[in-house]
């Protein structure tokens, strides 16, 4: 596990709260605005999750798909995402995780991608469309360059499969709170509570909950269920989407939303 992950999760555990991990798509709506948005939320983020824009993001709902499209339209590419993360590292010292689809890693070259990720200061890489059975080459490259391979766990992941994932996973487990895509409403019902408890009982890795987390109540309920971190993406991106004509206003509204969310 990246030492930065350990440090942050230990700190937030002492502070009796889940680590806050906002998610934004790199280059949305353009490189310059994207960098400014990361600057604006950096001081409030215990960790950052950054998405590599992709034309067919299977795990993502319409809000993040639209963000991907805006970023791609602005001619962002894998090298430019790495460049953006290098800029973020100038003012951000906490963990950075990236979400990237497998085709982008293949196109870039698996070894080259993880080497570059390590050089840019990326702590964890999650590839949602690579199943455990096909992950060996990616896990090997991640560990070669001391980058944590992060895995998604869903409510359909049984304990036997979880054990296999835990043999290779590092950093944290990304728990998908609902059966669906990102942005799906989340009230943290009994099924989600039971799911969290089951995974917590079987895992020593920290658990980060994502998909549909958008209110203080969601975060409070996740904390009660024993979650170590919360990932908030679509709710933040919706604010950007509603204020695309005024980047400064988007930035201010996102700052306010995040401040109120974690207050």
Domain 3-262, classified CATH 3.20.20.70, yes or no: yes
- 110 contacts 84 by C-beta, under 8 angstroms: no
pLDDT band with cut points at 50, 70 and 90 for residue 166: very high
Catalytically annotated residues: 49, 60
Question: Residue 181: its pLDDT value, please?
Answer: 47
Q: How many CA atoms lie within 13 A of 2 on its CB side?
A: 26
The yes-or-no verdict on residue 1 having pLDDT over 60 is: no
Q: Which of 218, 257, 221 is nearest to 237 (CA)?
A: 257
Cα 238 from Cα 246, distance rounded (Å): 14
In tens, the pLDDT along 235-255 reads 999 999 999 999 999 999 999
Angle, helices 78-88 vs 31-42, to 10°: value is 30
Domain coordinates of the chain in residue numbers?
3-262
- pTM here is 0.94
Q: Which class for 190: exposed (0-12), middle (13-18), buried (19 or more C-beta within 10 A)? A: exposed
Per-residue burial over 217-248, b if 16 or more Cβ lie within 10 Å, else e, is ebbebbbebebbbbbbbbbbbbbbbebeeebe
In tens, the pLDDT along 89-120 reads 999 999 999 999 999 999 999 999 999 999 99
């Amino acid at each position: 596990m990246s030492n930065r992950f350990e440090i942050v999760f230990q700190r937030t555990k002492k502070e009796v709260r889940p680590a806050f991990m906002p998610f934004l798509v790199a280059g949305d709506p353009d490189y310059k605005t994207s960098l400014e948005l990361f600057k604006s939320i950096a001081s409030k983020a215990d960790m950052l999750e950054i998405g590599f824009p992709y034309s067919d993001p299977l795990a993502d709902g319409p809000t993040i798909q639209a963000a991907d499209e805006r970023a791609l339209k602005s001619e962002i590419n894998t090298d430019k995402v790495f460049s953006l993360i290098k800029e973020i590292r100038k003012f951000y010292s906490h963990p950075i995780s990236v979400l990237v689809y497998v085709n982008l890693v293949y196109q870039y070259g698996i070894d080259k991608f993880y080497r570059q990720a390590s050089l840019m200061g990326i702590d964890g890489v999650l590839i949602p469309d690579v199943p455990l059975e096909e992950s060996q080459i990616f896990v090997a490259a991640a560990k070669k360059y001391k980058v944590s391979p992060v895995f998604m766990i869903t409510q359909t992941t049984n304990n036997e499969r979880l054990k296999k994932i835990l043999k290779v996973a590092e950093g944290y487990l990304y728990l998908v709170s609902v059966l669906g895509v990102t942005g799906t409403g989340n009230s943290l019902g009994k099924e989600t509570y039971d799911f969290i408890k089951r995974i917590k009982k079987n895992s020593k890795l920290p658990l980060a909950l994502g998909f549909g987390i958008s209110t203080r109540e969601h975060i409070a309920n996740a904390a009660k269920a024993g979650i170590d971190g919360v990932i908030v993406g679509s709710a933040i991106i919706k604010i950007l989407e509603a204020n695309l004509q005024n980047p400064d206003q988007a930035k201010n509204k996102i700052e306010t939303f995040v401040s109120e969310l974690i207050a």
